[in-house]
Amino acid sequence: MTASVPSVAGVLSVDQVVATAASIAAVQLPSGAVPWSAGGHTDPWDHVQSAMALAVGGRVDDARRAYEWSRTHQRPDGSWAIRYQDDHVDDPHTDANFCAYLATGVWHHWTLTGDRAFVRRMWPAVTRGVDAALGLQRADGAVAWAAADGQVLPEALVTGNASIHLSLRCAVALADLVGESRPDWELAAGRLRHAIDGHPERFEPKPHHAMDWYYPVLGGALPPDVAGAVLDARWDEFVVDGLGVRCVSTNPWVTGAETCELVLALVVVGRDDDARRVLADVQHLREDDGSYWTGLVFSDGKRWPVERTTWTAATVVLAADALSRTTPAHGLFRGADLPPCDQKATHPCLCPTP
């Protein structure tokens, strides 16, 4: 089955969302890869983000081509390179979050299309990708962000780990769908969530970055009152009324992707009016063809960087779907129909106080 294309009254029409999906497809390579922008590089995480948006925007065949690129470009150890240029490896290093995110995309595609054959085809790649990511999980539950030249780079990042937790929940759900049991994934996800929620000292501090502020809310693992308090605590640092979200709190720079990810987080906590207002605020980045500029330096009114990125456009589309609750996949970032993979209820924290 296929789903209707979302719209948000007073913000984005169906035709505008269709145009934004078309702007992503216009950049897609014949191989199925979706680069950041025309002539730019491809990274596996943003590529999957774009694949999800293509499907939401009614371009299911283009989404399948994107996922097929992921399947065929996976390395024997289950990883992908961090960066590709024209389908050739440009940076061979491994990012754990990039490896895990295919599970999120495949679960999203399943919930949107109900295509079991697609899930069966993608399942081996999902399995290898998740196992590659968990090969970088530390003893304290956090996942190291990357590996380079055979060496693990031990720092763990809050944003990447929160994204990995959502991917693990999607992977466990996919395992159930195909009739397999992966309790090791469930346990790894529980240990990871314990670290995110209870042990900020285990992560590399990036307090000025918006993603570290709202990303722990995405996926719906936090109780609603806690998640709402997280967003309220730093709202004034990051949100610029009428423009969007600062990528970095110390800089006069709003970015489309971070703004729309905040929209997703606001939908998680049920603050739809705020989400609609924030989504409307960022439409100043939209071009007539439906594409979106990455950001705006509002102190001088200049676009920066001077590029229209597929992953920015993709996050707009996903935010529109989450807010309008249009497609069957709209609840992804709320954790709808996903196992909790959270050990807090049965295993209270007994870790030594740092």
Residue 148, both tokens: 């380079």
* Whether residue 46 has pLDDT greater than 90: yes
Instruction: Report the CATH number that the domain containing residue 240 is assigned in CATH.
Output: 1.50.10.10
In whole angstroms, how large is the CA radius of gyration of the chain?
19
148: Cα within 13 Å, side-chain hemisphere? 8
User: ω into residue 305 within 30 of 0, thus cis?
Assistant: yes
118 within domain boundaries: yes
Q: How much is the pLDDT for 348?
A: 61
CA triple 125-321-108, angle to 5 deg:
15
Name the phi and psi angles at 296, rounded to 5.
-135, 130
Q: How much is the pLDDT for 1?
A: 47
354 within domain boundaries: no
Q: How much is the pLDDT for 196?
A: 96
339 within domain boundaries: no
The predicted model gives 324-331 an average pLDDT of 98
Which tens digit of pLDDT belongs to each residue from 98-129?
Answer: 999 999 999 999 999 999 999 999 999 999 99
Position 312 confidence tier, pLDDT thresholds 50, 70, 90: very high
Q: How much is the pLDDT for 350?
A: 64
Average pLDDT, the chain: 96
Q: How much is the pLDDT for 303?
A: 97
Residue 214, both tokens: 């709202």
Those residues whose C-beta lies under 8 Å from the C-beta of residue 2, and which sit 6 or more positions away, are 58, 60, 112, 113
The neighbouring-strand residues paired with 95 are 146
Amino acid at 285: L
Q: How much is the pLDDT for 194?
A: 96
Return d(Cα 147, Cα 307) in angstroms, integer.
Answer: 29
Position 345 confidence tier, pLDDT thresholds 50, 70, 90: very low
Q: How much is the pLDDT for 342?
A: 79
Q: Is the dihedral of CA 125, 128, 131, 132 positive or negative?
A: negative
Return d(Cα 32, Cα 41) in angstroms, integer.
Answer: 13
Sort strands 151-153 and 88-91 into parallel, antiparallel or unpaired: unpaired
Q: Looking at the 3D structure of the chain, how many domains does it have?
A: 1
What residue numbers bound the domain in which 320 lies? 14-334
- In order of 45, 104, 219, 300, 321, the CA distances from 48 in angstroms are 5, 8, 16, 33, 16
Residue 117, both tokens: 């054959």
3-class secondary structure for the chain? Answer: CCCCCCCECCCECHHHHHHHHHHHHCCCCCCCCCCCCCCCCECHHHHHHHHHHHHHCCCHHHHHHHHHHHHHHCCCCCCCCCEEECCEEEECCEEHHHHHHHHHHHHHHHHHHCCHHHHHHHHHHHHHHHHHHHCCECCCCCECCEEECCEEECCCCHHHHHHHHHHHHHHHHHHHHCCCCCHHHHHHHHHHHHHHHHCHHHCCCCCCEHHHHHHHHCCCCCCHHHHHHHHHHCHHHHEECCCEEECECCCCEEEHHHHHHHHHHHHHCCCHHHHHHHHHHHHHHECCCCCEECEEECCCCEECCCCECHHHHHHHHHHHHHHHCCCCCCCHHHCCCCCCCCCCCCCCCCCCCC
351 within domain boundaries: no
Nearest to 255 by CA among 237, 273, 232, 239: 239
Percentage of residues in the chain having pLDDT higher than 90: 94
In the chain, the N- to C-terminal Cα span, in Å, equals 51
344 within domain boundaries: no
Name the phi and psi angles at 68, rounded to 5.
-65, -35
Return d(Cα 208, Cα 169) in angstroms, integer.
Answer: 28
Which tens digit of pLDDT belongs to each residue from 238-276?
Answer: 999 999 999 999 999 999 999 999 999 999 999 999 999
Residue 91, both tokens: 């940076």
225: Cα within 13 Å, side-chain hemisphere? 0
